[in-house]
Structure 1
Amino acid sequence: MIHHVLLACPPGSEAASRAFYVGLLGMAEKPKPPALAARGGCWFTGYGAELHLGVSDDFRPARKAHVALLRPDLDGLAARLTAAGHPVDWGGEDELPGMRRFHTEDPHGNRLEFVAPR
């Protein structure tokens, strides 16, 4: 069982991270321990996953590597992301047997995948 996944983000991007992960994805922000809070970044939890956004001074987005989050509301989520200006790229019907999926990017350019059983 995985405890959490860390994605990098640029310095000063916490507000954009919160708007995306809480506002669009519906995750909850989890307070960072005081010893780690001074480093910046944000932690989020929801839908059985915990994501940590960690500040990287030489930030480069993960364009290929990604986290896949299981979501029951793919169509609604895709509509919210599209309306907010985040492109959604649906996978083909035969790419992942038994699953529907799409990819998008967080506000920092990190690739994300969302999946749901057919």
Structure 2
Amino acid sequence: MFKKIDHVQLSAPVGSEKEAIRFYNGILGFDVIQKPTTLEKRGGVWFRYGDIHLHIGVEQAFSPAKKAHPAIEVDSLKVIENIFKNHHIVIQHDDNLPEAKRFYVNDPFGNRLEFLEWER
């Protein structure tokens, strides 16, 4: 019945679209996706990297997702780790998931993001 997760939406403060683009596009290399005209007035920005779709929605009463998070599988955790280190982004390593290397970072708004590489 279910096919896949179409996208994950994270929140950010109103007016933070440029900062979201700097992080998700400029640092992580996600493409910026044009939102449908009917949704543009709501603000926010959409991103895609292959089949991974992230939507950043803006809200007045913003509160970051500190526990809930997207987990993004990568080919080389070391490569993405170096990208974050080169941008002075704090990495929190976690070795509690058997057969995987992973770590967490926060986006510029405090939303938690997980990156992992399975050791299969």
Query: Residues 88 and 103 of structure 1 are in contact (CA less than 8 Å); yes or no, is this contact kept in structure 2?
Result: yes
Which region of structure 1 is more displaced relative to structure 2, 108-117 or 69-78? 69-78
Per the alignment, residue 41 of structure 1 pairs with: 44
Equivalent in the alignment of 2:75 = 72
How do 1:2-21 residues align onto structure 2 when only pairs under 5 Å count? 2-21=5-24
Question: Is 1:50 the counterpart of 2:53 in the alignment?
Answer: yes
CA shift for structure 1 position 45: 0.7
The one-letter code matched in structure 2 to 1:107 is P
Count of paired positions: 116
Partner of 1:107: 108
How far did residue 85 of structure 1 move?
Answer: 2.2
**Structure 1 unaligned regions, length at least 5:** none
Give TM-score scaled by structure 1 length: 0.93
SS of 1:36's equivalent in the other structure is helix
- Whether contact under 8 Å (1:47, 1:70) holds in the other structure is no
Instruction: Determine which of 33, 49, 65 is the counterpart of 1:62.
Output: 65
Correspondence 1:25 to 2:28 = yes
TM-score normalized by the length of structure 2: 0.92
Residue identity in the other structure for 1:96: L
In structure 1, give the amino acid aligned to 2:59: S
Give 3-state SS (helix, strand or coil) of 1:87's partner.
coil
1:89 maps to: 92
List runs of 5+ in structure 2 lacking aligned partners: none
Q: Deviations over 1:32-90 (max 9, x none)?
A: 00110111100001143100000111001111111101111311211111221210111
For 1:11, give the aligned amino acid. V
Distance in 2, Cα, partners of 1:108 & 1:82: 18
2:75 corresponds to 1:98: no
Segments of 4+ in structure 1 off by > 3 A?
Answer: none
